[in-house]
Amino acid sequence: MASEITYAEVKFKNELPAPVVKGLPKKKKPEQHPQKYPLWLPWLISLLLLLVCIALVVVLLERGWTCCPKGWRRFQGSCYFLSPDTMSWSESAQNCTGMGSQLVVINSKAEQEFLSVQIGQLMRRDNFYIGLFLEKVGQWQWVDKTPYNGTPMFWREGEPSPGHENCTVMHAPEKALYNWNNVKPDTMHHRICEVAAVIV
CATH number, residue 128: 3.10.100.10
Do 69 and 194 touch, CB atoms closer than 8 A? no
Secondary structure (DSSP) of 127-179: -EEEEEEEEETTEEEETTS-B--S-S--BPTT-SPSSS--EEEE-TT--SS--
- Between 135 and 66, the more confident residue is 135
Q: Report how many domains make up the chain.
A: 1
* pLDDT greater than 70 at residue 138: yes
* pLDDT greater than 70 at residue 63: no
* pLDDT greater than 80 at residue 194: yes
CA distances from 81 to 4, 33, 45, 100 (A): 132, 66, 47, 12
**Residue 121 belongs to what H/E stretch?**
helix 109-121
Tens of pLDDT, residue by residue over 30-48, are 566 566 777 787 888 888 8
pLDDT of residue 65: 76
- Between 126 and 142, the more confident residue is 142
Domain that holds residue 95: 70-199
pLDDT of residue 8: 59
Single pTM value for the model: 0.67
Q: Say if 57 falls within a structural domain.
A: no
Looking at residue 112, its amino acid is Q
Helix (H, G, I), strand (E, B) or coil at 130: strand
Mean pLDDT of the chain: 84
In the structure, what pLDDT confidence band is assigned to residue 184 with cuts at 50, 70 and 90?
Answer: very high
Distance CA 157, CA 35 (A): 77
Q: Say if 178 falls within a structural domain.
A: yes
Q: Say if 59 falls within a structural domain.
A: no
Residue % of the chain over a pLDDT of 70: 76
Q: Say if 58 falls within a structural domain.
A: no
In the structure, what pLDDT confidence band is assigned to residue 87 with cuts at 50, 70 and 90?
Answer: very high
Q: Say if 132 falls within a structural domain.
A: yes
Q: Say if 102 falls within a structural domain.
A: yes
Q: Say if 39 falls within a structural domain.
A: no
Do 152 and 167 touch, CB atoms closer than 8 A? no
- Between 122 and 184, the more confident residue is 184
How is the chain split among helix, strand and coil, in percent rounded to 5? 25, 25, 55
Helix (H, G, I), strand (E, B) or coil at 90: helix
Q: Say if 74 falls within a structural domain.
A: yes
